[in-house]
């Protein structure tokens, strides 16, 4: 018996042959794709529990956000007009004020809103690194999405000791790994060479030995001082640090690598580790010294490079397709045109990301035997017709707003833009309530005109910035509680 039948779709399979069916049918039974074949006239009258007529529309595998943080999703809109140095100061100040006092209700609302954002943007799987992983596992699981969640370990940032954090991480793995029918899994997520002590790295190595099937997810070379930080843990450089603890192999995910050089790129590729690239956050804020990751060398040596949004709430965009476009534009700007083809970008958002997460036997392409994670993209509109070169349309023209239906594990979570698996009103109400608490506790104010840091903020003391003038000009009376 077929549970879900999609017919007359343009099916972009992202299989080995990059096959595109001009008019195809996808059958799903018990959450698994049973067939992907050209549509037969009989398909249009076939019996199935759920039938989607996708005439003129495109079906692609669900998108995979390969690197994201979630805890502070409710700060969206506060930092968008800051530069990199201001962002870091304000974010740390706010997080320090907010984290001890806001409690689980704040972070739960953040995770629920993030799930809603993720779902409505067609991101079926996220690879997250957060300080509230239990809330994340529950939110991801209950919303029907798929997620790999790592408790972020960083004893230089978090007041808990290395031992306490490692014990909590072990408990998280034991309790939450492989739950919700396997949609929620765990990773081991040390923050990186800048945030972790030697003691913590030793504990991470023990965790890795005890849970060899889990991914090791970390930041590396995101600051120019990487070598110095690694030296503090007795290593020559950040890659050597991982290597010494037996943490550098094909189960390792390295985020950023902004300050890595050609030699580092070769070592990454030879180890089989995967590279998680987040272009928007760095180009938006230009934080720190200008540097870009060594893409040509990584590609020359054969490393798997995939894409993540990192902190989408800092720059107000949850659109992974736009993120891929930024990756292309910024890499072309740095290294010359044609760093990636459109189809390569699509593979990075789907099958290559699934491979990085060790999920490519389950998701990432539309093939019989895989779990049914897919999205329907509506390009049967005056805005898109007529078209050719579908991969280019998908990666250059389409935005997340064109995604109308989302399926995970064979379940329809959003149909024709109506969210089925979450109580949207409840998510919005909780987010608004907690956002009000955030503003009351920290002194940040927001209005339609922009955001205003609290009086004690470094920004307020040093200079009146344009964002403050905008608020004065329009007045603060136009606060709309549903528009951040
Ligand atoms: Zn990150």
User: Which DSSP string do the residues of 56-103 spell out, in sequence order?
Assistant: T-EEEEPEEEEEE--TTGGGTTSSTT--HHHHHHHHHHHHHHHHHHHH
Q: Which two tokens stand for residue 147?
A: 């997620």
**What is the overall mean pLDDT for the chain?**
91
Which residue matches tokens 């979450």?
422
Interval between CA 219 and ligand 1 midpoint (Å): 6
Interval between CA 415 and ligand 1 midpoint (Å): 31
Q: Residue 319, SS3?
A: coil
pTM (2 decimals)? Answer: 0.94
**Tens-place pLDDT, residues 301-359:** 999 999 999 999 999 999 999 999 999 999 999 999 999 999 999 999 999 999 999 99
**Tens-place pLDDT, residues 376-434:** 999 999 999 999 999 999 999 999 999 999 999 999 999 999 999 999 999 999 999 99
Domains annotated on the chain, with CATH: 4-60+374-419 (2.30.40.10), 63-356 (3.20.20.140)
What is the predicted pLDDT for the residue at 234?
Answer: 87
- State the Cα–Cα distance between residues 121 and 404, nearest whole angstrom: 9
Interval between CA 218 and ligand 1 midpoint (Å): 8
What is the predicted pLDDT for the residue at 474?
Answer: 34
When pLDDT is averaged across residues 132-142 and rounded to a whole number, the result is 98
- Residue 483, pLDDT above cutoff 90: no
What is the predicted pLDDT for the residue at 287?
Answer: 55
Interval between CA 182 and ligand 1 midpoint (Å): 24
- Residue 467, pLDDT above cutoff 80: no
Interval between CA 213 and ligand 1 midpoint (Å): 22
- The most confident of the ranges 89-98, 277-286, 450-459 is 277-286
86 pLDDT band, cuts 50/70/90, is confident
Interval between CA 116 and ligand 1 midpoint (Å): 20
26-35, 204-213, 330-339, 439-448 — which is least confidently predicted?
A: 439-448
CA distances from 302 to 266, 267, 386 (A): 9, 11, 36
- Residue 477, pLDDT above cutoff 50: no
Interval between CA 187 and ligand 1 midpoint (Å): 14
219 pLDDT band, cuts 50/70/90, is very high
Q: Which is more confidently placed, 361 or 479?
A: 361
What is the predicted pLDDT for the residue at 455?
Answer: 74
Interval between CA 81 and ligand 1 midpoint (Å): 20
237-246, 281-290, 337-346 — which is least confidently predicted?
A: 281-290
- Residue 461, pLDDT above cutoff 50: no
Interval between CA 170 and ligand 1 midpoint (Å): 21
Residues 6+ apart with CB under 8 A from 15: 365, 366, 367
Interval between CA 183 and ligand 1 midpoint (Å): 22
- State the Cα–Cα distance between residues 280 and 124, nearest whole angstrom: 20
Interval between CA 9 and ligand 1 midpoint (Å): 36
Q: Are 414 and 377 in contact (CB under 8 A)?
A: no
Interval between CA 223 and ligand 1 midpoint (Å): 12
When pLDDT is averaged across residues 455-475 and rounded to a whole number, the result is 43
Q: Are 224 and 289 in contact (CB under 8 A)?
A: yes
Percentage of the residues of the chain whose pLDDT score is greater than 90? 79
What is the predicted pLDDT for the residue at 458?
Answer: 54
What does residue 128 show for φ and ψ, rounded to 5 degrees?
A: -110, 150
464 pLDDT band, cuts 50/70/90, is very low
Interval between CA 448 and ligand 1 midpoint (Å): 29
- State the Cα–Cα distance between residues 165 and 49, nearest whole angstrom: 46
DSSP annotation of 218 reads E
- Residue 470, pLDDT above cutoff 70: no
What is the predicted pLDDT for the residue at 268?
Answer: 98
Which residue matches tokens 């069916």?
21
**Tens-place pLDDT, residues 151-200:** 999 988 788 899 999 999 999 999 999 999 999 999 999 999 888 999 99
Residues 6+ apart with CB under 8 A from 215: 127, 148, 150, 187, 188, 251, 252, 253, 357, 358
Interval between CA 277 and ligand 1 midpoint (Å): 10
Interval between CA 318 and ligand 1 midpoint (Å): 15
Neighbours of ion ligand 1 (CB under 5 A): 310
- State the Cα–Cα distance between residues 441 and 460, nearest whole angstrom: 17
Q: Are 360 and 8 in contact (CB under 8 A)?
A: no
Interval between CA 311 and ligand 1 midpoint (Å): 7
Interval between CA 133 and ligand 1 midpoint (Å): 15
What is the predicted pLDDT for the residue at 476?
Answer: 32
- State the Cα–Cα distance between residues 264 and 450, nearest whole angstrom: 42
Question: Whose CA is closest to 350, among 361, 365, 331, 335?
Answer: 365
Interval between CA 33 and ligand 1 midpoint (Å): 33
Interval between CA 464 and ligand 1 midpoint (Å): 30
Interval between CA 255 and ligand 1 midpoint (Å): 7
229 pLDDT band, cuts 50/70/90, is confident
When pLDDT is averaged across residues 100-129 and rounded to a whole number, the result is 96
Interval between CA 189 and ligand 1 midpoint (Å): 11
- Residue 118, pLDDT above cutoff 60: yes
Other C-beta atoms lying within 10 Å of the C-beta of residue 140: 28
Other C-beta atoms lying within 10 Å of the C-beta of residue 233: 19
Interval between CA 113 and ligand 1 midpoint (Å): 19
What does residue 278 show for φ and ψ, rounded to 5 degrees?
A: -125, 80
Q: Which two tokens stand for residue 264?
A: 């580092």
Interval between CA 152 and ligand 1 midpoint (Å): 10
Q: Are 342 and 389 in contact (CB under 8 A)?
A: yes
DSSP annotation of 406 reads E
What is the predicted pLDDT for the residue at 154?
Answer: 93
Interval between CA 384 and ligand 1 midpoint (Å): 34
When pLDDT is averaged across residues 346-374 and rounded to a whole number, the result is 98
């Amino acid at each position: 018996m077929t549970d879900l039948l999609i017919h007359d779709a343009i099916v972009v399979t992202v299989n080995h042959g990059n096959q595109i069916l001009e008019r195809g049918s996808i059958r799903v039974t018990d959450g698994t794709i049973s067939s992907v074949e050209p549509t037969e006239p009989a398909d249009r009258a076939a019996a199935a529990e759920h039938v989607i007529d996708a005439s003129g529309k495109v079906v692609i595998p669900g998108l995979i956000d390969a690197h994201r943080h979630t805890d502070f999703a409710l700060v969206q809109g506060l930092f968008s007009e800051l530069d990199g140095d201001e962002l870091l100061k304000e974010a740390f100040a706010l997080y320090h004020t907010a984290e001890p006092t806001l409690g689980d209700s704040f972070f739960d609302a953040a995770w629920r809103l993030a799930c809603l954002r993720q779902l409505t943007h067609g991101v079926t799987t996220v690879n997250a690194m957060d300080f509230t992983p239990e809330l994340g596992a529950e939110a991801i699981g209950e919303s029907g999405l798929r997620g790999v969640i790592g408790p972020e370990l960083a004893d230089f940032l978090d007041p808990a000791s290395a031992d306490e954090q490692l014990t909590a991480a072990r408990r998280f793995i034991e309790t939450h790994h492989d739950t919700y029918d396997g949609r929620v899994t765990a990773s081991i997520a040390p923050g990186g060479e800048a945030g972790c002590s030697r003691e913590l790295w030793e504990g991470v190595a023990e965790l890795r030995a005890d849970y060899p099937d889990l991914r090791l997810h970390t930041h590396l070379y995101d600051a120019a001082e990487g070598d110095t930080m690694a030296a503090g843990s007795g290593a020559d450089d950040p890659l050597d640090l991982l290597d010494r603890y037996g943490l550098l192999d094909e189960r390792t995910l390295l985020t950023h690598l902004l300050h890595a050089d050609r030699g580092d790129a070769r070592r990454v590729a030879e180890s089989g580790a995967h590279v998680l690239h987040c272009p928007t956050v760095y180009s938006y804020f230009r934080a720190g010294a200008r540097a870009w990751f060594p893409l040509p060398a990584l590609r020359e040596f054969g490393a798997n490079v995939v894409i993540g949004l990192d902190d989408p709430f800092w720059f107000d965009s949850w659109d992974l397709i736009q993120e891929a476009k930024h990756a292309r534009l910024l890499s072309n700007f740095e290294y010359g045109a044609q760093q990636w083809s459109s189809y390569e970008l699509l593979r990075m958002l789907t099958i290559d990301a699934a491979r990085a997460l060790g999920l490519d036997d389950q998701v990432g392409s539309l093939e019989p035997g895989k779990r049914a994670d897919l999205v329907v993209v509506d390009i049967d509109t005056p805005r898109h017709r007529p078209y050719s070169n579908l991969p280019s349309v998908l990666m250059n023209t389409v935005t997340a707003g064109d995604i109308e239906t989302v399926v995970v594990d064979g379940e329809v979570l959003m149909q024709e833009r109506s969210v089925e698996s979450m109580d949207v009103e409840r998510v919005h109400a909780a987010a608004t309530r907690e956002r009000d608490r955030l503003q009351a506790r920290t002194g940040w104010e927001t209005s339609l005109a922009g955001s205003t840091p609290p009086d004690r903020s470094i920004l307020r003391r040093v200079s009146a910035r344009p964002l403050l003038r905008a608020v004065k000009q329009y007045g603060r009376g136009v606060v709309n509680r549903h528009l951040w």
